[in-house]
Amino acid sequence: MLDAITAIVLINAEKGKVSEVARQLSRIDEVVEVHSVAGVYDLIAKVKVKEYGRLSDVITEKMQAIDGIERTMTLLCFKTFKL
């Protein structure tokens, strides 16, 4: 997606629901990557949209509607140095 706005969403999932949350995230068109990770968070999702207003739709509506997501932290990307 050329000139896309990118956000990285760090996600805590309920115990035993990481795989199901990941599958549900993968069904959202604007979510271009989903990674299971070790550490403080359970999953990382990369979101790409064409305009900032869409981030709200994706993160606060689509993602928060997924059963099993406990908490999220969203990081907005300013610049990409390497793909």
Single-letter code of the amino acid located at 27 = R
Token pair in block for residue 66: 């997924």
Percent residues over pLDDT 70 in the chain? 98
- Pick the residue with more confidence: 4 or 69? 69
Please say if the pLDDT value at position 1 is more than 80. no
Which pTM was predicted? 0.93
Of 19, 15, 4, the closest CA to residue 58 belongs to: 4
Per-domain residue ranges for the chain? 5-76
Instruction: Please say whether the beta carbons of 33 and 69 come within 8 A.
Output: no
Of 3, 79, 4, 2, the closest CA to residue 47 belongs to: 4
Summarised one tens digit per residue, pLDDT across range 46-74 is 999 999 999 999 999 999 999 999 999 99
Residue range 5-76 forms a domain whose CATH class is: alpha beta
Q: Give the mean model confidence (pLDDT) for residues 10-36.
A: 98
